[in-house]
Amino acid sequence: MQNLTEQPITAADKTFFQLRKDIVEGVVLAGSKLSETELSTKYGVSRAVIREAINRLESCHIVERKANVGARVVSLSPEGLVDLYQVRESLEGMAARLAAQNMTDAEIADLNALLNVHSEDVKNHGSYYQEAGDVDFHYRIILGSKNNHLIAMLINGIYHLVRMYRVQLGMSGPRVSTAFDEHKHIVQAICNRDGELAEMLMRRHILYSKNNIQRKLTPQREA
């Protein structure tokens, strides 16, 4: 996954992808400071390259920069999660509606095929599905919207932050098969070219997903 026409060309590209991956997967801790000199030795590139990578991460809302002070990785907070998922609900709901309207029959057939593969994955080794398959599913719907602004905002913008919450807070077991059923219903609505229903189902799907993560994030009384 993650090979969605995103091919690194320059050193800044590579560093950006690597650093983003390290942050999303928690190798670089949430809330930690990003020292330019430190990172430049760690990744073996000049500070200029690091600065460009950090600038790009800032526009994804993965890091926050203050002038003359430096950059920090964002902290994962319940408020941040709510804000993020509200936006995501709105944008991906819209993507589903547009996808029902704009995807070609061939693309919809492909999407159905993907679903069948996922069905096998869930039966065999259920947990892997969530990270790779779910992202792939959502990517296809987003691309199916054919709205370039929407695609850019979601894929280059907020999606990696979504992944950061999901990877670092984990997702519970029983929801895997439930989520798969929700995907099936969404695809069915798209097959029927029913944009309104697709949007509504996608919004609920994302809402459930948010509640699921929220349960992991909110009850931190035992800490």
Partner DNA sequence: TCTGCAAAAGATGTCGACAATATAGCAAAT
Partner DNA sequence: ATTTGCTATATTGTCGACATCTTTTGCAGA
Tokens 């990744």, residue? Answer: 43
Name the residue type at position 54: I
In whole angstroms, the minimum distance from the beta carbon of 9 to its own copies comes to 4
In whole angstroms, the minimum distance from the beta carbon of 104 to its own copies comes to 17
Q: Which residues bind DNA (CB under 7 A)?
A: 10-12, 33-38, 45-49, 51-52, 65, 67-71
Spatial strand order in the sheet of 33-34: 33-34, 70-73, 63-66
Q: 12 to 71, contacts with its own copies by CB under 8 A?
A: 13, 48, 51-52, 55-56, 59, 61, 67-68
Comparing CB distances to DNA, the nearer of 50 and 201 is 50
Task: Find the distance separating the first CA and the last CA of the chain, reported in whole Å.
Answer: 35
Partner from its own copies, DNA, none contacting 32, C-beta within 5 to 8 A by type: none
**Cβ-contact 97, 195 below 8 angstroms:** yes
Q: How far is CA 140 from the centre of its chain?
A: 12
In whole angstroms, the minimum distance from the beta carbon of 157 to DNA comes to 21
Hey, which residues does 73 pair with through a beta bridge? Answer: 63
Q: Rounded distance, CA 145 to CA 141, Å?
A: 6
- Contacting positions for its own copies (CB under 8 A): 9-10, 13, 48, 51-52, 55-56, 59, 61, 67-68, 80, 83-84, 86-87, 90-91, 94, 98, 147-150, 152-153, 157-158
